Structure 1
Amino acid sequence: MISAVRARWAAFAGSRVFNATIDVALAAAALLDVAVSLPGWSPIESAWALLAVAGLLVRRRLPWVAFALVLPGLVVDAMTVAAPIALYSVAVRVRRIPLLVGAGAVTFACFLLPDWQLPPLDYLAPSLLYALMYAATPIALGALVRTRLELSARVAELSAARESERRRDEQDVLRRERARISREMHDVVSHQVSLTAVQAGALQVASPDPEARRVAGIIRTLSVRTLDELRQMVSVLRADGATTDSPAPQPTLADLPRLIADSGLDARLEADLPSDLTPAVQRAVYRTVQEGLTNARKHAPGALVRVTATASTSSIDVVVQNDAARAARLRLPSSGTGLRGLRERAELLGGRLHAAEGVDGGFRLAVSVPRRETES
Structure 2
Amino acid sequence: MVRRWTERARAVWRWAWRYRYTLADVGYALVFFPPVVTGMVLAFSYGERFGWGPGALPELLDETSRIAAVIVALQIGLVIPGLVALTVLVRRRRPEWLMSASLLLVALFGNVYAAPIALYSYAAWFTHRWRPLLLWSGAHLVALVAVYSFWQPVLIPVYGMMFLAFPLLFGLWVGTRRQLVENLRERAERLEREQHLLAETAIVAERTRIAREMHDVVAHRVSLMVLHAGGLEVSAPDERTAQAAELIRTTGREALSELREILGVLRGGGDTAPTAPQPALGDLERLVDSARAVGVEVEFGVTGTPRELSAQVERTAYRVVQEALTNAARHAPGAAVDIRVDHGRHELTVTVVNGPATVDGVVPVPGSGYGLVGLRERLALVGGTFVAGPLSDGGWWVRAAIPVTPAETPRTVEDNP
Mean alpha-carbon deviation: is it higher for 294-303 or for 212-221?
212-221
The answer to whether the aligner puts 1:155 opposite 2:155 as a matched pair is no
CA offsets, 1:233-281, max 9 Å, x none? Answer: 11121122233433x4322333211111112311122236757433332
Structure 1 residue 343: deviation in Å? Answer: 1.8
Residue in 1 that maps onto 2:221: 192
Residue in 1 that maps onto 2:302: 271
Q: Which of these residues, 30, 34, 44, is aligned with residue 31 of structure 1?
A: 34
C-alpha distance in structure 1 between counterparts of 2:129 and 2:396, whole Å: 78
TM-score, structure 2 length as denominator? 0.73
Distance 1:312 1:63, change over 3 A: farther
Q: Which of these residues, 316, 329, 353, is aligned with residue 284 of structure 1?
A: 316
Q: Which of these residues, 73, 84, 88, is aligned with residue 116 of structure 2?
A: 84
**Where do residues 1-376 of structure 1 align in structure 2 (5 Å cutoff)?**
16=19, 20=23, 24=27, 27-28=30-31, 31=34, 43=74, 44-49=76-81, 51-52=83-84, 56=88, 59-60=91-92, 63-71=95-103, 73-75=105-107, 79-94=111-126, 95-114=128-147, 118-119=149-150, 123=153, 127=156, 131=160, 134-246=163-275, 248-263=276-291, 264=294, 265-271=296-302, 274=306, 276-328=308-360, 330-371=363-404
Structure 1 residue 290: deviation in Å? Answer: 0.6
Structure 1 residue 330: deviation in Å? Answer: 4.4
C-alpha distance in structure 1 between counterparts of 2:274 and 2:371, whole Å: 23
Select the structure of larger CA radius of gyration. Answer: 2
Structure 1 residue 282: deviation in Å? Answer: 2.5
CA offsets, 1:204-239, max 9 Å, x none? Answer: 333324333332222222112211111121112112
Amino acid at match of 1:256: L
Instruction: State the number of aligned residues.
Output: 359
CA offsets, 1:126-180, max 9 Å, x none? Answer: 9479648854553443234223322322221221111111111111111111111
Question: Which secondary structure does the structure 2 equivalent of 1:316 belong to?
Answer: strand
Contact 2:335 2:355 in 1 (8 A): yes
Question: Which secondary structure does the structure 2 equivalent of 1:113 belong to?
Answer: helix
Structure 1: tracts of 5 or more residues without a match: 1-10
C-alpha distance in structure 1 between counterparts of 2:225 and 2:95, whole Å: 81
C-alpha distance in structure 2 between counterparts of 1:363 and 1:79, whole Å: 92
C-alpha distance in structure 2 between counterparts of 1:110 and 1:209, whole Å: 114
C-alpha distance in structure 1 between counterparts of 2:274 and 2:262, whole Å: 11
Distance 1:352 1:249, change over 3 A: same
C-alpha distance in structure 1 between counterparts of 2:347 and 2:277, whole Å: 25
Structure 1 residue 340: deviation in Å? Answer: 1.4
Structure 2: tracts of 5 or more residues without a match: 1-13, 46-69, 410-417
Amino acid at match of 1:228: S
- RMSD (Å), alpha carbons: 3.7
Mean alpha-carbon deviation: is it higher for 90-99 or for 173-182?
90-99
Residue in 2 that maps onto 1:6: none
C-alpha distance in structure 2 between counterparts of 1:18 and 1:132, whole Å: 27
C-alpha distance in structure 1 between counterparts of 2:206 and 2:129, whole Å: 53
Distance 1:275 1:12, change over 3 A: closer
